[in-house]
Amino acid sequence: MKKEKEMDVQSNIKRCKEDVIFDTVIFIILTFLFLIVAYPLWWVIISSVSDPKAVSGGQVIWRPIGFTMKGYAEVFEDDSIVRSFLNSVLYTVCGVLVNLAVTLPTAYALSRDKFGGKKIITLFYVITMFFGGGLIPTYLVVQSCGLLDSMWALILPGCLSVYNMIVARTFFKTNISEELYEAAEIDGCTQGRFFFQIALPLSGAITAIMVLYYGVGHWNSYFSGLIYLSDQNKYPLQLVLRSILITNESALQQAATTAEARAALNEKKELIELMKYSLIIISSIPVLILYPFIQRHFVKGVMIGSVKG
């Protein structure tokens, strides 16, 4: 009864003119910002299924014109696309598992008050955020470890992100209290058992955030494959898509120098532009599918892991 009265009182409270104006202005600003962010993605989507001539002619603005799947057909005619897609899935899954296996135990250990020397160890980690050996020393290390032209060359050198480790450490420090461990210790629980059976099950939010951060990083990575891989059968998706575009553009330039028919040249140019949009959509789909499953943990995991501590 009391709650109903409070709701009636709140519903009878009239908002002042200034509040209405403020909310309206905020709504307009947020709508404008949403359109700025959403329209480029929408335009790429409708351009990927529109007639190449309509796209190059600037006719595609709000909806697709001359619906066609020619761009996607051209992309998937190359068998290397499917192979590289599976490679990227393998690299991403294995990479995320390795990242979690290194980041979460490190973050948990450095979050414990009884862990000796944690400040010095944390300082060593933080230094690597500002200073690095560079590309050539890193390449020599990978080469000396016998990792060249293998999947592990893309995974092990970056198996731990210091930024992600600090966020996870703060999460453990804030949410997994020492009192909880002391209560488990009375029952004979060790640190390892406490981490795997108590701390990890209570850290679903930060684990989901780590999966998202590391997964997107592995999926979008192409530079490591460009440096460390020589076998094209092992190329990730991003590297193959880059190679396709470069090959097509080179062929187009060669055609221009050999004075082929102008109509065929323009058609090839339009098709290459259409393929670019199709490739963007193809490479973005896995991340767009993954994000909704992690979104509900995103705000909680990031805010708790970065604000406090």
Task: Report if pTM > 0.75.
Answer: yes
Dump the DSSP string for 90-119: HHHHHHHHHHHHHHHHHHHHHH-TT-TTHH
What CA–CA distance (Å, rounded) separates 190 from 60?
63
What CA–CA distance (Å, rounded) separates 97 from 199?
18
**What is the tens place of the pLDDT at every residue in 233-290?**
888 888 887 777 676 555 555 555 555 555 666 666 777 777 778 888 888 888 778 7
Share of the chain above pLDDT 90, in %: 12
Closest CA to 217 of 287, 152, 135, 298: 287
- Residue 235 · residue 225 · CB < 8 Å: yes
Structure tokens at 52: 């190449």
What CA–CA distance (Å, rounded) separates 158 from 221?
11
- Residue 111 · residue 169 · CB < 8 Å: yes
The average pLDDT across 45-49 equals: 84
Confidence of residue 33 (pLDDT cuts 50, 70, 90): very high
- Residue 56 · residue 175 · CB < 8 Å: no
Q: What is the CATH number of domain 73-240+274-306?
A: 1.10.3720.10
Residue 134 — left, alpha, or beta (φ > 0 → left; ψ -120 to 50 → alpha)? left
Could you tell me where in the chain the CATH 1.10.3720.10 domains are found?
Answer: 73-240+274-306
What CA–CA distance (Å, rounded) separates 107 from 309?
13
**What is the tens place of the pLDDT at every residue in 252-265?**
555 555 555 556 66
- Residue 50 · residue 277 · CB < 8 Å: no
- Residue 277 · residue 44 · CB < 8 Å: yes
Closest CA to 236 of 250, 218, 216: 218
